[in-house]
């Protein structure tokens, strides 16, 4: 019996220690900045370099860093040259710090994205995006009143998002998805071969259409549609095919040198 009692006592102590370890993983509050467009920006350090300002985007599949960060933090070597996803392609960050939160072994893409470039012109330097490959490890609580995000470890280990994207791109899949724009929008866009900037130019708006009623006009530029970047006609067509009639779609527009968000419900029809 004494042996059983000692065993029970030891088990209890182990259980208490385990509970103490779990409860010790309290949420870490990270300061955030809210831009006029509603986007969230956080300050980060990469491999002890920085700080750098990155967008915090829960719709981004992977964390993205600029070639500036990649070079200064020695994430990539300048001699790597061109890669599919930008200046350095896929990379791994040993240490990524958001305030007092420190994460390790983050899968990222090195890329100078054009939309980030244009946002930097209006809101100061932004050097990338915090995406799923980083934030999925945590339970998130965004406190807009106190301008902070609480990160609580959830034990989830994300898959290699970049590898999954590459496998999908390179797969010999003969199944084709039929895309069809839903609803009537009432505008026309173009993308000239010489146009290397982000977004698409609106070249005409149908009078009394939902776009016209929302205040969009010729000369405006569509930067994204329902959080899908629209840097090509194919991007826009894909984005509109994923929208639903009788539901609001969110468009980010560059108009008169100002980025704004417009909510539009398409008219019924095809």
- Residues 46-80: tens digit of each pLDDT: 999 999 999 999 888 889 999 899 999 988 654 44
Q: How confident is the model at residue 83 (pLDDT cuts 50, 70, 90)?
A: very low
Percent of the chain topping pLDDT 70: 76
Q: Give the residue ranges of DSSP H helices in 50-113.
A: 67-72
Q: How confident is the model at residue 162 (pLDDT cuts 50, 70, 90)?
A: low
Tokens of 237: 């067509």
Q: What is the pLDDT of residue 7?
A: 40
Q: Is 267 left (phi over 0), alpha (psi -120 to 50) or beta?
A: beta
CB 69 within 8 A of CB 46: yes
Residue 169 has pLDDT above 70, yes or no: no
Q: What is the pLDDT of residue 81?
A: 42
Q: What is the pLDDT of residue 11?
A: 43
Q: How confident is the model at residue 175 (pLDDT cuts 50, 70, 90)?
A: low
Rounded to an integer, the average pLDDT of 244-269 is 88
Q: How confident is the model at residue 164 (pLDDT cuts 50, 70, 90)?
A: low
Q: ∠ at Cα 226 (88, 138), nearest 5°?
A: 60
Residue 74 neighbours by CB under 8 Å, 6+ apart: 47
Report residue 7: phi and psi, to 5°.
Answer: -65, -45
Q: Give the global pTM.
A: 0.55
Average pLDDT, the chain: 80
Residue 203 has pLDDT above 70, yes or no: yes
Domain 28-167 belongs to what architecture?
Beta Barrel (2.40)
Q: In Å, how far are 91, 135, 180, 235, 264 from 226, measured between CA atoms?
A: 28, 21, 16, 11, 10
Which carries the bigger pLDDT value, residue 11 or residue 226? 226
Same fold, 28-167 and 187-264: no
Q: What is the pLDDT of residue 141?
A: 94
Residue 17 has pLDDT above 70, yes or no: no
Residue 89 has pLDDT above 80, yes or no: no
CATH class, domain 187-264, is: mainly beta
Question: Domain ranges in the chain?
Answer: 28-167, 187-264
Q: What is the pLDDT of residue 165?
A: 60
pLDDT digits (tens, 9 = 90+) for 105-144: 888 888 888 888 888 989 999 999 999 889 989 999 999 9
92-106, 115-129, 176-190: segment of lowest average pLDDT: 176-190
Which carries the bigger pLDDT value, residue 22 or residue 119? 119
12 burial class (0-12, 13-18, 19+ CB within 10 angstroms)? exposed
Q: What is the pLDDT of residue 146?
A: 94
The reply to whether omega before 51 is within 30° of 0 (cis) is: yes
């Amino acid at each position: 019996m004494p042996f059983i009692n000692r065993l029970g006592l030891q088990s209890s102590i182990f259980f208490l220690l385990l509970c103490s370890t779990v409860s010790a993983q309290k949420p870490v509050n990270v300061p955030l900045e809210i831009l006029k467009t509603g986007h969230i920006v956080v300050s980060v350090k990469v491999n002890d370099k920085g700080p750098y300002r990155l967008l915090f985007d829960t719709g981004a599949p992977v964390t993205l860093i600029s070639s500036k960060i990649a070079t200064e933090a020695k994430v990539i070597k300048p001699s790597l040259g061109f890669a599919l996803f930008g200046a350095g392609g896929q990379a791994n960050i040993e240490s990524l710090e958001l305030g007092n939160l420190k994460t390790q072994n983050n899968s990222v893409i090195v890329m100078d994205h054009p939309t980030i470039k244009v946002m930097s012109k209006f809101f100061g330097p932004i050097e990338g995006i915090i995406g799923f490959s980083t934030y999925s490890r945590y339970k998130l609580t965004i406190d807009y009143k106190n301008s902070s995000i609480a990160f609580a470890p959830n034990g989830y280990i994300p898959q290699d998002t970049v590898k999954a994207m590459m496998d999908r791109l390179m797969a010999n899949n003969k199944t084709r998805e039929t895309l069809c724009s839903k609803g009537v929008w009432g505008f026309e866009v173009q993308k000239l071969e010489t146009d290397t900037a982000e977004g698409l130019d609106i070249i005409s708006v149908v009078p009394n259409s939902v776009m016209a009623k929302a205040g969009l006009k010729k000369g405006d530029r569509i930067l994204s549609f329902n959080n899908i970047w629209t840097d090509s006609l194919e991007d826009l067509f894909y984005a509109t095919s994923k929208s639903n009639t009788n539901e609001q779609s969110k468009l980010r527009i560059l108009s008169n040198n100002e980025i704004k968000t417009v909510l539009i419900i398409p008219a019924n029809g095809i």
